[in-house]
Amino acid sequence: MNLFITFEGIDGSGKTTQLKLLHDYLLKRGMPVVVAREPGGTAIGESIRQILLHSGTKELKPLSELLLYYASRYQNFCQNILPALERGQWVLCDRYADASAAYQGYGRGVDLNFIERLNQVVIGQRMPDLTLLIDLDPSLALARARERNQRRAVDEGRFEKESLEFFERVRQGYLNLARQDPQRFRIVSGNLSIEGAHQEILRLLPLQ
């Protein structure tokens, strides 16, 4: 059966690196698989991404921020994720609804019940089958993210300006979400080597 797998964790924890490794692995095995990312993944979503991540975006209210993430998510859900799942493809998505609960809910204090209601309306028909949470100390993760962002041409530095306390709240938020839904979540240590984490993820998947 094709699975819908999401990758979560604070910035710099290693999600994108692990998603690419799993994507390559599944492709080599000849499996039908597509990748998606949030915010973004569609023309509208990529425009929303620029607003959300550009360091020049100022005075964005937490609720406006949340709704922009959900606008991007709904486009991604309708245009990419659901059609791929219905075609029988695996979908690997770099962040999804749990990021909104962790960042806008636990991080910024938006009502978690409201976020849960949004989830029911926006993506209620299809939650991920498996969520891989890469857990890492924020000071280590942010050092990695900053180093990576310096090498990038695009300005996606708005979240870099947040404090370590903010990322600690987000990290604890993710761990709470994982405790509340142990069936769906698997926690992978971000302290492992890149190859070590990849092997761990392969062990967690229902692959023959």
Residue 90-119 contact track with ligand TYD, rule CB under 6 A, x = bound: ----xx---xx--xx---------------
Burial class (CB within 10 angstroms; exposed 0-12, middle 13-18, buried 19+) of 206: exposed
**Binding test (CB under 6 A) with ligand ADP, winner from 3, 12, 118, 198:** 12
Indicate the residue among 31 and 166 with the shorter CB distance to ligand TYD. Answer: 166
| Distance, CA of 97 to CA of 121 (rounded, Å) | 12
- Interface positions, 129-158, toward ligand ADP (CB under 6 A): 144-145, 148
Cβ–Cβ under 8 Å, residues 170 and 106: yes
Candidate segments 5-13, 113-121, 124-132, 154-162, binder of ligand ADP by CB under 6 A: 5-13
Cβ–Cβ under 8 Å, residues 170 and 102: yes
Cβ–Cβ under 8 Å, residues 52 and 108: no
| Distance, CA of 140 to CA of 190 (rounded, Å) | 9
| Structure token pair of residue 208 | 């023959």
**Binding test (CB under 6 A) with ligand ADP, winner from 81, 178, 187, 197:** 197
Q: 175 touches which of ligand ADP, ligand TYD, none (CB within 5 to 8 A by kind)?
A: none
**What values do phi and psi take at 78, rounded to 5?**
-75, -40
Which residues are registered as beta bridge partners of 185?
131
Residue 9-28 contact track with ligand TYD, rule CB under 6 A, x = bound: --xx--xx------------
| Structure token pair of residue 84 | 């791929």
Binding site for ligand ADP (CB under 6 A): 9, 11-17, 144-145, 148, 192-194, 197
Chain contacts with ligand TYD (rule: CB under 6 A):
11-12, 15-16, 38-39, 53, 69, 94-95, 99-100, 103-104, 145, 159
